[in-house]
């Protein structure tokens, strides 16, 4: 098997610097302790432990006389302060690229900007970075998490934001995040902080995986960058993650194998893995060549006809018409590792078999049914690829990067990107399921067959869509699911076909955003308002006629009704006020007051509750005219009328004081004439009477 090692595999600058720092301290005869494992590699960690290096979780746990080494991941600012307060001897081996992100986080907090970091919130590097940010911050794992963050915090788009990434963040996922940011974020400062070595390593791994049948990723299982390398390679071929050389898989002959390694993997381990696989390859080739020659000499390359005469948990015994006893090991019976012999064959079954090995001394012949089936399978698979035939098989394994589908004796690899209808779906539920798929790639020399379940699902969906469009009619009702929301409406999945409910159709009330009425995932009953079959567009309705507020308006609020209304908007020509939920009326500027005003803002403001009179309703055009002035004028007219109808009053002077009496029918004017007052005697002897007269004269204007 050809073995290719990625040029960028192994230690990055930051990790190499941190590990070298510890070894240099040991060479100088100093005692060393590391704040957490110095590297995600169990072999290196174990070697340092044997040399006396202590691993501590907190600075205070550092043994006396030891120099504390801060690993390349870095630590929060509070930890650095604690180290200094304790007076510990330390060496800061934080990667320079990580320190750059620390500075970005610190400045964002000082400038009161939102700090957004793309990465794994549980990773030590991310925890260290966030520990330097004193302001509002968020950590997102992928582009989907970013979309959820924007949905749950729409106000973030208006804030000044700094965006960075963990140094080992997935480069492909970073690009997806940037695409999302460009659409919605207008005032974000983006910093590409993924380490160059990480980006180069991921890109080379992707390129190598495309060319190989299998990929081996060497590194610690707790390493973030190693896990990302495994995920990248698994998109293109079967991938194995190993920590030690003794975990290397046994691979069939003739496969092209690629090797890459995470930033925490020493070059010595990579070299050992390469040599081991090359040695195995050499031995396999020699053994295969010798076996092939042996089989030829014993006529073991021929096919024979056999009849099942016995079944055990590990073997099936067959009669092949020779003196030797024929047997089929369970591994040569089927490609399904979970299958039991008793479930595959029964006594008396006839089958065509391939002689694998003859042992004349023991009088046995080892046979294979699996290989005969595989020979036929390759022919069937190649024909299926040419014709595009839809095949059925059972998902027998879920592996990194995809699933294995068993079709007869053929193992078909279906990448994760081709295993489900949409990307990102869980693969585990597929295990044990019978699925339909197409063959999209066949390479007999490399013994590789790749299938696609998604292509069949797409065709099935397309067929459902064609049937849907053939039968859909206006007015038809559907129970759908809200699929997504936009500023102008909601898209609803009607069962493979999407329709759109405009925001004006979601509610009779005025909405600022569709989310005020529905949420993604909500079940929703809709009806078809209009169709465009040529362009495959459906306009849906959601609000019900019986909930129409105009019907309530017609029943309960006729013209002339006086009611309270809430001001909801102001314009140059008037004010809009909500009469009932869903109906706003216009108070024209001329109807706001009983005198001329320059602007509605001078009298009203949004939120004011005013008493209005409904002066006109246009049900066809859905318009309502309101008036405050009409009520003021009516009130003034009523006051004038009341004043006009009020009884007159008479003024009576008694002993120099003024009394007022209402003139009524019971009190005629003749009974108390004002002119008779001076007639009292003696007239000449009352000079003092002149004073009241003068006072009366002075008070007269006041009476008027």
Which residue numbers are catalytic?
125
d(CA 1, CA 249): 13
Q: Which residues contact 268 (CB under 8 A, 6 or more apart)?
A: none
Nearest CA to 326 out of 299, 281, 351, 358 is that of: 358
Q: How far is CA 596 from CA 317, 571, 602, 612, 628, in A?
A: 109, 16, 11, 18, 13
Nearest CA to 128 out of 83, 79, 84 is that of: 79
C-alpha angle with apex 590: 587 to 591, nearest 5 degrees?
A: 45
Tokens of 568: 């909801």
Q: Which residues contact 506 (CB under 8 A, 6 or more apart)?
A: 489, 490, 514, 517, 518, 542, 543
Q: Which residues contact 292 (CB under 8 A, 6 or more apart)?
A: none
Nearest CA to 242 out of 210, 269, 208 is that of: 269
**Quick one: which H or E segment has residue 8?**
none
Burial grade of 573 (CB within 10 A; 0-12, 13-18, 19 or more): exposed
Q: How far is CA 132 from CA 2, 100, 129, 224, in A?
A: 47, 11, 6, 21
Nearest CA to 178 out of 139, 143, 141, 136 is that of: 143
Q: Three-state secondary structure along 337-384?
A: CCCCHHHHCCCCCEEEEEEEEEECCCCEEEEECHHHHHHHHHHHHHHH
How far is Cα of residue 266 from the mean position of the Cα atoms in its chain?
37
Tokens of 263: 């930033």
d(CA 148, CA 156): 12
Residues 130/139, Cβ–Cβ less than 8 Å: yes
Nearest CA to 696 out of 655, 662, 647 is that of: 655
- The DSSP output letter for 102 is H
SS3 of residue 239 by DSSP:
strand
132 backbone dihedrals φ, ψ, rounded to 5° = -105, 0
d(CA 465, CA 462): 5
* Helix, strand, coil distribution of the chain in percent, nearest 5: 40, 30, 35
How, if at all, do strands 537-541 and 523-532 pair? Answer: antiparallel
Q: How far is CA 255 from CA 42, 205, 272, 572, in A?
A: 29, 17, 20, 78
**Quick one: which H or E segment has residue 183?**
helix 171-184
Which runs of E-coded beta strand occur in 183-298? Answer: 188-190, 214-218, 238-242, 257-261
d(CA 144, CA 156): 16
Alpha helix (H) residue ranges in 75-142: 77-86, 96-110, 124-130
């Amino acid at each position: 098997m050809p073995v290719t090692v990625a040029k960028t595999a192994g230690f990055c600058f930051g990790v190499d610097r941190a590990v070298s720092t510890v070894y240099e301290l040991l060479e100088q005869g100093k005692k060393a302790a590391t704040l957490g494992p110095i590297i995600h590699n169990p072999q290196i960690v174990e070697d340092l432990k044997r040399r006396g290096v202590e691993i501590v979780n907190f600075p205070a746990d550092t043994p006396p006389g030891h120099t504390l080494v801060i690993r390349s991941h870095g630590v929060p600012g509070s930890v650095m302060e604690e180290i200094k307060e304790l007076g510990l001897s330390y060496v800061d081996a934080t990667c320079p690229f990580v320190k750059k992100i620390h500075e970005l986080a610190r400045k964002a907090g000082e400038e009161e900007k939102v700090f957004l970091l793309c990465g794994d919130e549980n990773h030590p590097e991310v925890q260290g970075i966030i520990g330097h940010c004193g302001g509002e911050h968020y950590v997102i794992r992928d582009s989907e998490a970013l979309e959820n963050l924007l949905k749950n915090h729409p106000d973030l788009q208006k804030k000044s934001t700094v965006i960075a990434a963990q140094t080992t963040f997935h480069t492909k996922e970073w690009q997806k995040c940037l695409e999302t940011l460009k659409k919605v974020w207008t005032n974000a400062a983006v910093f590409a902080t993924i380490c160059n070595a990480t980006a180069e390593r991921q890109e080379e791994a992707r390129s190598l995986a495309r060319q190989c049948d299998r990929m081996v990723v060497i590194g610690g299982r707790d390493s973030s960058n190693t896990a990302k390398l495994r995920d990248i390679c698994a998109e293109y071929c079967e991938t194995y993650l190993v920590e030690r050389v003794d975990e290397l898989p046994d691979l069939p002959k003739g496969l092209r194998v690629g090797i890459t390694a995470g930033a925490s993997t020493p070059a010595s381990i990579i070299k050992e893995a390469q040599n081991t696989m090359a040695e195995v390859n050499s031995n396999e080739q020699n053994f295969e060549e010798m076996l092939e020659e042996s089989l030829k000499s014993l006529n073991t390359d021929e096919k024979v006809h056999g009849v099942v005469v016995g079944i055990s948990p590990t073997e099936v015994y067959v009669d092949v018409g020779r003196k030797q006893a024929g047997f089929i090991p369970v591994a040569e019976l089927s490609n399904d590792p979970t299958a039991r012999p008793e479930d595959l064959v029964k006594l008396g079954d006839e089958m065509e078999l391939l002689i694998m090995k003859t042992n004349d001394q023991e009088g046995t012949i080892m046979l294979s049914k699996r290989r005969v089936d595989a020979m036929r399978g390759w022919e069937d698979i190649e024909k299926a690829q040419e014709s595009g035939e839809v095949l059925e098989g059972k998902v027998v394994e879920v592996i990194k990067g995809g699933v294995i589908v068993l079709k007869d004796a053929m193992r078909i690899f279906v990448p994760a990107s081709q295993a489900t209808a949409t990307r990102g779906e869980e693969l585990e539920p597929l295990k044990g399921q019978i699925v339909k798929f197409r063959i999209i790639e066949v390479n007999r020399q490399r013994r590789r067959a790749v299938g696609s379940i998604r292509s069949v699902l797409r065709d099935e969906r397309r067929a459902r869509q064609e049937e849907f469009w053939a039968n859909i009619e206006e007015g038809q009702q559907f129970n759908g699911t809200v699929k997504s929301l936009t500023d102008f409406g909601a898209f609803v999945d009607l069962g493979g076909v999407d329709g759109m409910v405009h925001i004006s159709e979601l509610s009779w009330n005025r909405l600022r955003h569709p989310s005020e009425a529905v949420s993604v995932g909500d079940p929703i009953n809709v009806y078809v308002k209009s169709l465009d079959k040529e362009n495959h567009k459906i306009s849906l309705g959601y609000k019900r006629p019986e909930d129409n507020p105009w019907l309530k308006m017609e029943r309960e609020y006729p013209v002339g009704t006086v009611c309270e209304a809430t001001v909801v908007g102001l314009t140059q020509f008037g004010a809009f006020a909500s009469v009932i939920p869903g109906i706003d009326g216009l108070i024209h500027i001329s109807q706001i007051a009983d005198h001329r005003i320059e602007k509605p803002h001078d009298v009203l403001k949004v939120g004011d509750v005013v008493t209005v009179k409904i002066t006109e309703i246009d049900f066809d055009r859905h318009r309502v005219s309101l008036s405050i002035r009409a009520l003021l004028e009516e009130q003034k007219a009523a006051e004038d009328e009341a004043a006009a109808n009020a009884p007159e009053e008479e003024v009576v002077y008694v002993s120099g004081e003024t009394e007022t009496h209402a003139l009524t029918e019971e009190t005629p004017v003749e009974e108390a004439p004002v002119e008779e007052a001076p007639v009292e005697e003696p007239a000449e002897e009352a000079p003092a009477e002149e004073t009241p007269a003068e006072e009366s004269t002075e008070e007269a204007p006041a009476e008027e």
